[in-house]
């Protein structure tokens, strides 16, 4: 079956790229969580000046962690509904909750309310909606799955480059609570409108002229459901490697500015560099996605860990401004790469018949990395007084990742 369906009055082979573009913009809205550092000081001042409540830096940073935790939890819990009620409806539900999280944040009178309305409600909304563009791209692009998924999630990583500047402007012009309100309404409307065209291809659809590659002897020749997936060694290899990649990348996101200032980078330049690193976070997704298509998931994973090890070794042995910029660009880029590599590997290894639920379980590795990475960095900073001790740990984990990838990340066998 080939050209049996049209999209936007075009042959599906062309129109499917528009669905990828819609997913990219949806993730651009969802990824605004990576701009949270812009809100930290204005919120601290708002609670102290307007509400008369003194809050610590840890309390203001906590919504970031709560948001990411519920983001990761919601993915596997809602994945099956993408098939049962459809990608359009799931995205609309997630978009409504995401918009409400931002909108209700503008009404809080305590930091605990911020944890609930922004961290929990907003995080769940993003967790519900995030998996849809990934699933849609994976099913419409069996021939270029890695590239399509990488482009769909590019918006999430690239978001901070755009939304951090936008939020900073709005905060300066209108105040932090009005900014929450404006962004909440914008996300609510945009995500709903962008969700309307989303849909899956008909059963058995494949691009014209494309023939699925013939599996090698002993490799799986049928689709895996979630139960079958978790009984394979490939799943555990992929999960562990995804966890290590996310731990290294999210650690780099959480400490990017303070590490720069510790090395003597001027504070204003350090802030600008965070936006610069976001370009690599976004760009790493289509690059690593395309690599996954071309040289298979395991080899792409080995390249990722080699780069992470190189960046960590550089920061450990040659801590300087130039090496900091190079190393953190690599770490942010590899995190972005994993958010294309992991979903593409899931589809490649386990098929797409139960893809939303399968990738939901794999994505729990992101949530674990989101907790472990910043916590590891904070613990080392507290106990040693410096972030320098983080990088030998990440180097060791990258080496462990190479071993795991080499031994376990292989297509499942019967």
Model pLDDT for residues 356-405, shown as the tens digit of each residue = 788 888 988 988 887 788 778 777 877 888 888 889 999 999 999 999 99
Q: Is the pLDDT of residue 244 over 60?
A: yes
Which tokens sit at 358?
Answer: 């399968």
Task: Dump pLDDT digits (tens) for 204-226.
Answer: 788 887 777 666 554 444 467 88
Average pLDDT value for the chain: 86
> How much of the chain is helix, strand and coil, in % rounded to 5?
80, 0, 20
Domain assignment of residue 82, yes or no: yes
What pLDDT is attached to residue 96?
97
288 part of a folded domain: yes
Same domain for 313 and 369: yes
Residue 178 lies in a domain: yes
Cβ density class 141-175: b for 16+ within 10 Å, e for less = bbbbbbbbbbbbbbbbbbbbbbbbebbbebbeeee
- Mean pLDDT comparison of 191-195, 201-205, 279-283, highest-scoring range: 191-195
Q: Are residues 249 and 373 in the same domain?
A: yes
Per the domain annotation, does 147 fall within a domain? yes
Calpha distance 17→287 (Å, rounded): 17
69 in the same domain as 114: yes
Most confident of 13-17, 154-158, 165-169, 248-252: 13-17
In tens, the pLDDT along 302-338 reads: 999 999 999 999 999 998 899 999 999 999 899 989 9
Q: Does an H or E element contain 67, and which?
A: helix 57-84
Which tens digit of pLDDT belongs to each residue from 77-88? 887 788 889 999
Q: Is the pLDDT of residue 139 over 70?
A: yes
Which 3 state secondary structure label does DSSP give 110?
coil
Predicted local confidence at residue 1, as pLDDT: 43
**H-state helical runs in 263-352:** 267-295, 297-317, 321-350
- Which pLDDT value is given to residue 356? 75
Domain match, 71 and 168 both: yes
Q: Are 60 and 131 contained in the same domain?
A: yes
CA distance 117 to 258: 28
| CA 129/CA 132 separation, integer angstroms | 6
- Does some domain include residue 20? yes
Contacts of 203 (CB under 8 A, 6+ apart): none
pLDDT score recorded for residue 214? 67
- Point out the domain boundary residue: 174, 195, 216: 195
Model confidence, pTM: 0.75
Is pLDDT at 54 greater than 70 in this prediction? yes
Is the pLDDT at 179 greater than 80? The verdict is yes
Residues 230 and 185 placed together within one structural domain of the fold: no
Output the pLDDT for position 215: 60
Domain final position from 176, 195, 214: 195
Q: Are residues 290 and 156 in the same domain?
A: no
284, 153 contact by CB (below 8 A): no
Q: Are residues 284 and 144 in the same domain?
A: no
Range of weakest confidence among 17-21, 115-119, 267-271: 267-271
Domain boundary among 195, 217, 250: 195
Decide if pLDDT at 175 tops 50. yes
Tell me what pLDDT residue 3 has. 47
Per the structure, the complete domain to which residue 386 belongs is given by 226-408
How many domains does the chain contain in total?
2
% of the chain residues with pLDDT over 70: 95
Report, as an integer, the average pLDDT of 18-38: 89
Q: What is the pLDDT of residue 30?
A: 94
CATH for 281: 1.20.1250.20
- Residue 184 in domain: yes
CA angle, residues 257, 262, 266, in degrees to nearest 5: 65
Kindly state the average pLDDT of the residues 258-284. 81
Q: CA–CA separation, 272 vs 52, rounded Å? A: 31
Summarised one tens digit per residue, pLDDT across range 273-287 is 877 888 898 888 888
* 88 contacts 199 by C-beta, under 8 angstroms: yes
* Residue 413 covered by a domain: no
Do 70 and 185 have their domain in common?
yes
Contact between 37 and 140 (Cβ < 8 Å): no
- Read off the DSSP letter of residue 212: P
For residue 2, the model assigns a pLDDT of 46
Instruction: Please say whether the beta carbons of 285 and 404 come within 8 A.
Output: no
**CA distance linking residue 103 with residue 129, whole number of Å:** 17
pLDDT of residue 12: 79
Give the 3-state secondary structure of residue 219.
strand
Tell me if 176 is assigned to some domain: yes
The pLDDT of residue 57 is: 61
């Amino acid at each position: 079956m080939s050209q049996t369906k049209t999209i936007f009055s075009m042959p599906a082979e062309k129109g499917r790229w528009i669905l990828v573009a819609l997913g990219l913009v949806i993730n651009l809205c969802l990824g605004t969580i990576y701009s949270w550092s812009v809100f930290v000081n204005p919120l601290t001042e708002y609670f102290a000046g307007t509400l008369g409540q003194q809050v610590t830096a840890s309390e203001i940073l906590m919504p970031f962690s709560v948001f990411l935790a519920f983001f990761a939890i919601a993915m596997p819990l809602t994945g099956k509904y993408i098939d049962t009620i459809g990608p359009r409806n799931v995205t609309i539900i997630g978009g409504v909750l995401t918009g409400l999280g931002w909108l209700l944040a503008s009404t809080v009178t305590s930091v605990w309310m911020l944890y609930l309305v922004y961290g929990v409600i907003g995080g769940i909304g993003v967790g519900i909606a995030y998996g849809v563009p990934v699933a849609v791209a994976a099913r419409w692009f069996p021939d270029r799955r890695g590239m399509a998924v990488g482009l769909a999630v590019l918006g999430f990583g690239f978001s901070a480059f755009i939304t951090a500047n936008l939020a900073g402007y709005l905060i300066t012009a209108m105040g932090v609570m009005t900014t929450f309100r404006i962004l909440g309404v914008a996300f609510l409307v945009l995500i709903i409108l962008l969700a309307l065209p989303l849909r899956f291809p008909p059963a058995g659809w494949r691009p014209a002229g494309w023939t699925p590659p013939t599996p090698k002897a002993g490799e799986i020749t049928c689709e895996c459901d979630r139960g079958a997936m978790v009984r394979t060694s490939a799943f555990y290899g992929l999960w562990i490697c995804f966890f290590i990649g996310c731990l290294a990348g999210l650690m780099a996101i959480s400490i990017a500015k303070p590490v720069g200032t510790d090395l003597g980078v001027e504070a204003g330049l350090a802030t600008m560099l965070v936006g610069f690193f976001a370009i690599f976070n976004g760009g790493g997704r289509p690059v690593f996605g395309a690599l996954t298509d071309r040289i298979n998931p395991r080899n792409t994973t080995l390249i990722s860990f080699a780069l992470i090890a190189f960046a960590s070794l550089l920061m450990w042995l040659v801590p300087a401004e130039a090496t900091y910029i190079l190393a953190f660009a690599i770490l942010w880029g590899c995190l972005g790469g994993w958010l294309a590599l992991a979903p593409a590997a899931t589809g490649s290894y386990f098929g797409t018949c139960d893809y939303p639920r399968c990738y939901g379980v794999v994505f729990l590795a992101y949530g674990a990395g989101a907790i472990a990475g910043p916590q590891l960095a904070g613990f080392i900073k507290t106990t040693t007084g410096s972030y320098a001790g983080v990088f030998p740990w990440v180097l060791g984990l990258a080496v462990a990742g190479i071993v795991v990838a080499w031994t376990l990340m292989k297509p499942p066998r019967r």
